[in-house]
Amino acid sequence: MIQPIDAVSAVLAIPFVAAIVLAVLPGYKLTSRLNVLASALTFAAALQLLGDRPEPDAYLLIDDLNVVFIVLNTLVAFTTSWFSATYIAHELESGRLTPAYLRFYHAMYQVLMFSMNLALIANNIGLMWVAIEVATLTTVLMVGIYRTHQAIEAAWKYFILGSVGIALALFGTILVYMAARPAVGEGADGMVWTVLMANAHAFDPALLNVAFIFLLLGYGTKVGLAPLHAWLPDAHAEGPTPISAVLSGLLLNVALYAVLRFKLLLAANEQAIAPGPLMMLLGLLSLIFASFMLYRRRDIKRLFAYSSIEHMGIITFAFGMGGPLANFAGLLHMTMHSLTKSAIFFAVGHISQIKGTQKIADISGLTETHPVLGWGLVLGVVAIAGMPPLGIFMSEFLLVTSTFAREPVLAILLVFGLLLGFGALMLRVSGVAFGEPKGSTAPADASYVPMFVHLAIVAVAGVYLPAPVVAWFQNVAKLLG
Amino acid sequence: MYGLNFDVAHFLAGSLVLVSLLQLYQVRLYALVNVFAAHAAILALSVGWQAFIQNAPHLYVTAFIALVFKAVIIPVALHRIIKQLGLQRGVETAVGVGLTMLAGIALVALSMVVMLRVTETADPLAREDLAFALSVLLIGLLMMVSRRNAVSQVIGFMSLENGLILAATGAKGMPLVVEISVAFSVLIAFIVIGIFLFRIRERFDTVDVQALDRFRGDQS
């Protein structure tokens, strides 16, 4: 690497520098454009990682697994910043945010991107922990940015539960170090991924088991797995909608990535417990619980927050079951969910701005008054509910068939949860999209491109996956064991 | 049995658990803050002793941070906040004090059983340290769920972090990166908490988290 700046540093440096610049520059038009620009550049840098991959050093690591996450992360971050630019302009007009807060908002957005990318790239379990903690704290501040009663309550709840999760995860991290110490030796090596993975077979299995329980509960809180999900619906509903999109589409994935890494570590030690069944249990529990909860939602953002819990449950279940097919389904589902859920939040963000409310009962007949937004939302919900032939149907189908082959009883529960969620979403969206129009019919000043780009990818993925992508995902699925 | 080094470390870590239990039955906010200051001071001593016996000078930094930041600055700041905001001086408990104490004792027993069983091969000092650290951590969690005031929840969170630092220093040779980051994140965490306390004050007349529950949007 004789280049002045390689792609890995760029993925970290661009958001970092952008955060500082955006914190000092005035004027929301300029800063929101710069925000988009910085996110686009980060995405471009992430794409380069696909091709040239530097050797891992003591702190940073790029391998097949995290490249998937990084590319997805930067892509959604880029489209969300695009959506955010129009969304924020409206918030400024309606006076919900002041210019000073906007400056803070944009800086925080980039800090969040920086910390998420760092968590994904880190080759050191301590560094990864720090990055996830920073990401948590930034989102706490973003959720509370409107400073209404509800927003503060949501942020406080998120902060308390998130900190507890983070604390448990740190304890787990310390235990991993303790388990590794006899094999790896003292000092910095005891926290480096590549070293840990190479020596995992010699670790103390009992300590490793306890460590994994703490890590699963700790990072699982951030994934939003039931019964540790209580922060998630409030945080999604009360913060600005771009943040809901980033939370659902990205931050949950980053936490899941941490769990996956430690699962690999346990799998490399033959005497340790199999981590899979625990993850399957939590995954199924989240899926079924969230599907039931979907029926009782009255707030549209909360509805989709519960849907995120449901889908994170499905993904955790898939990775917990393991094997090439289920892992492939899990990866595909994660990608599709990120894209679809953020597209839905883009639509919901504009809709709730036009209607001035998030109450499901006060929104209806969208396809008549705002055809583009309304049909976009319908398409998104149809996709997220798992209707064929869209992308999420593909991954759910793969998962269900591989579960039937291996665990028929669990497959029945899985299908039950999926159908339950499907019914709830269809019921709710039909009320919102069709029927007698209610509320304001003011024309939408929306940016449709991000939403339809996401939905187009999801729709195409349902019928045709390019061969290189399939090979890539298969390779990662094999890696995940 | 293992010599003076072990005895002193054991004594200090044990005291930390004891002070954690003390926190559980404080019913006045000022007293609670003072007990937390004692908690942090004992942590500083314990970390200092670990630095001495492990011959790891960088741990003195951690000890120093614990002493200055957690045992002095934060308690003083909390005293100020309580006075300036005119908070209620009592600690509102969600569960009775007696029951919380019993639960606390049960948690200590639980962490002993769990940690001592799985760490049979580790060296005795780290073993005991981990068991104590887990007790402190769990008691901190218990405090966060059994108290209603935001201030006492924050104190619960900080004593939980103290338990984490005890565990991190007990793990011999754990890289410096982590200690600094732990201290650093506590700092960030506290700034966040501070902002929140003031924001909450701006909107409500109480820092009581229960009051916030009334504003929940989605009553289901």
Q: What is the mean pLDDT of residues B9-27?
A: 91
Residues in contact with A161: Cβ distance below 8 Å, sequence separation at least 6, in sequence order: A221, A228, A230, A231
**Residue A122 φ/ψ, nearest 5 degrees:** -55, 140
pLDDT at A156: 80
Please tell me if residue A210 touches chain B, with a CB cutoff of 8 Å. Answer: yes
pLDDT tens for A283-321 read 999 999 999 999 988 899 999 999 999 999 999 999 999
Torsion of CA A467, A472, A474, A480, to 10 degrees: -170
Angle between the A205-223 and A276-294 helix axes, to the nearest 10 degrees?
20
- Show the domain range for B43: 4-207
Higher local confidence (pLDDT), B133 or B64: B133
Element containing residue A49 per DSSP (H, E): helix A28-51
Mean pLDDT of B86-103: 79
pLDDT in tens, A216-260: 999 999 999 988 888 999 999 988 999 999 999 899 999 999 999
Q: In angstroms, rounded to a whole number, what is the distance separating the alpha carbons of residues A475 and A126?
A: 27
Query: Residue B10 in contact with residue B149, Cβ under 8 Å?
Result: no
Number of domains in chain B: 1
C-alpha gyration radius of chain B? 18
B129 lies in some domain:
yes
Share of chain A above pLDDT 70, in %: 99
Are the beta carbons of A194 and A155 closer than 8 angstroms? Answer: no
- B interface mutation test: which of A170, A184, A238, A359 has the most B CBs within 10 A? A170
Judged by DSSP in three states, A8 sits in helix
- Whether residue B205 is predicted with pLDDT greater than 70 in this model: the reply is no
Judging contacts by C-beta atoms under 8 Å, the chain B residues touching residue A209 are 118
Asked if the model's pLDDT at residue B139 lies above 90, the reply is yes
CB-closest option in B118, B122, B175 to A191: B175
Residue B220 lies in a domain: no
Is-contact A420 A385, C-beta < 8 A? no
Whether B172 sits inside 8 A of A181 (CB atoms) is: yes
State the smallest CA–CA distance between residue A56 and chain B in angstroms. Answer: 18
| Token couple for A131 | 């990055």
The residue written with tokens 């499905």 in the block is A314
- Summarize pLDDT for A85-96 with one digit per residue, the tens: 999 888 888 888
Cβ partners under 8 Å of residue B190, min gap 6: B74, B158
Mean pLDDT across the stretch A456-466?
91
Averaged confidence pLDDT in chain B: 78
Q: Which of A235, A233, A230, A476 is nearest to A335 (CA)?
A: A476
Asked if A303 is an interface residue toward chain B (Cβ–Cβ < 8 A), one would say no
CB atoms within 10 A of CB A458: 25
Q: Tell me the C-alpha to C-alpha distance, in Å, between residue B92 and each of A121, A339, B215.
A: 44, 45, 20
B218 pLDDT tier (thresholds 50, 70, 90): very low
**Residue B193 burial (CB < 10 Å; 0-12/13-18/19+)?**
buried
Q: Which residues of A touch B123 (CB under 8 A)?
A: none
Going from the C-alpha of A84 to that of each of A301, A373, B175, the distances in angstroms are 16, 16, 40
- Residue A209's closest chain B neighbor by CA? B118
The neighbour count for residue A468, using CB atoms within 10 Å, is 9
Complete DSSP assignment for chain B: ---HHHHHHHHHHHHHHHHHHHHHT--BHHHHHHHHHHHHHHHHHHHHHHHHHHT-THHHHHHHHIIIIIIIIHHHHHHHHHHHHT--SBPPBSS-HHHHHHHHHHHHHHHHHHHHHHTTTS-HHHHHHHHHHHHHHHHHHHHHHHB-BHHHHHHHHHHHHHHHHHHHHHSTT--HHHHHHHHHHHHHHHHHHHHHHHHHHHH-S--BHHHHHTT-S---
Task: Identify the pLDDT of residue A30.
Answer: 87
CA angle B204, B209, B215 (to 5 degrees): 65
- B199/A178 Cβ within 8 A: no
Cβ A149–B137 below 8 Å, yes or no?
no
Lowest-confidence pick of A52-66, A256-270, A398-412? A52-66
Tell me the per-residue pLDDT of A30-39, one tens digit each, with 9 for 90 and over: 888 999 999 9
What is the rounded distance in angstroms from the CA atom of residue A312 to the CA atom of residue A334?
8
Q: Would you call A237 an interface residue with chain B, using a CB distance cutoff of 8 Å?
A: yes
Task: Give helix A231-238 / helix A300-321 axis angle, nearest 10°.
Answer: 130
Residue that wins the pLDDT comparison between A154 and B17: B17
Q: Do B157 and A206 count as a contact with CB atoms less than 8 A apart?
A: no
Write out the two tokens for B84: 């300036």
Alpha carbon of A291 to those of A8, A415, A422: distances in Å? 39, 11, 8
* Residue B197 clears pLDDT 80, i.e. is over it: no
pLDDT at B87: 65
> Hey, which residues does B147 pair with through a beta bridge?
B93
**Mean pLDDT over the full length of chain A:** 90
Residue B57 lies in a domain: yes
* H helix or E strand, kind and range, residue A363: none
- When pLDDT is cut at 50, 70 and 90, the band that residue B210 belongs to is low
Where b means 16+ CB within 10 Å and e means fewer, A273-302 reads bebbebbbebbbbbbbbbbebbbebbbbbb
Q: How many CB pairs under 8 A join A and B?
A: 134
Nearest alpha carbon to residue A366 among A358, A379, A375, A356: A375
What's the rounded Cα separation, in Å, for the pair A253 and B180?
27
The residue behind tokens 């003591």 is A58
Q: Is residue B175 part of a domain?
A: yes
pLDDT at res. A397: 94
What's the pLDDT band for B186 if we cut at 50, 70, 90?
A: low
pLDDT > 60? residue B206: no
Res. B185 pLDDT band, cuts 50 70 90: low
Domain definitions of chain A by residue range: 275-481
CA neighbor of A358 nearest in space, from A236, A224, A446 = A236
Most confident residue range from A110-119, A445-454, B79-88, B93-102: A110-119
What's the token pair of residue A65? 């697994």
3 state SS of A481: coil
Residue B188 confidence class, pLDDT cut points 50, 70, 90:
low
Return the structure tokens found at B21: 């239990």
Q: How confident is residue B203, by pLDDT bands cut at 50, 70 and 90?
A: very low
Alpha helices by DSSP H, A224-360: 231-238, 241-246, 252-267, 276-294, 300-321, 324-355
B contacts of A174 (beta carbons < 8 Å): 164, 167-168, 171, 174
- Residues A233 and A429: their CA atoms lie apart, in Å, by 18
pTM of the predicted structure, to 2 decimals: 0.91
Distance from CA of B171 to the nearest CA of A (A): 6
Q: Output B178 or A435, whichever has higher pLDDT.
A: A435
At A192 the three-state DSSP class reads strand
The distance of B104 to chain A (nearest Cα, Å) reads 17
ipTM for the predicted complex:
0.86
* Tokens, residue A316: 């955790």
Predicted confidence (pLDDT) at residue B201 exceeds the cutoff of 60: no
Q: Which of A263, A200, A254 lies closest to A223, judged by CA?
A: A254
The answer to whether B157 touches B144, Cβ cutoff 8 Å, is yes
Mean of the pLDDT values across residues B145-150?
A: 78
Contact A280, A286 (CB under 8 A): no
Cα–Cα distance, A67 to B204 (Å, whole number): 46
Average pLDDT over residues B155-179: 78
- pLDDT for A63 equals 86
**Cα(B135)–Cα(B105) distance, integer angstroms:** 9
- Two tokens at B153? 């929840």
- Of all residues in chain A, what percent carry a pLDDT higher than 90? 51
A431 contacts A362 by C-beta, under 8 angstroms: no
Give residue B180's pLDDT.
55
Please check the confidence at residue A1 and state whether its pLDDT lies above 70. no
Model confidence at B148, pLDDT cuts 50, 70, 90, reads: confident
- Nearest 5°: the CA angle A386, A389, A393 is 30
Q: Does A305 touch chain B (CB under 8 A)?
A: no
**Residue B117's pLDDT band (cuts 50, 70, 90):** confident
- Residue B180 DSSP symbol: H
**Residue type, position A414, single letter:** L
Tell me the average pLDDT across A140-144.
87
Which residue in chain B has the smallest CA separation from A140? B192
Contact B119 A207 (CB under 8 A): yes
- Report the pLDDT value the prediction gives residue A6, as an integer from 0 to 100: 81
| Interval A456-467 mean pLDDT | 91
**Where is pLDDT greater, at B135 or B93?**
B135
Q: For residues A279-285, give the mean pLDDT.
A: 95
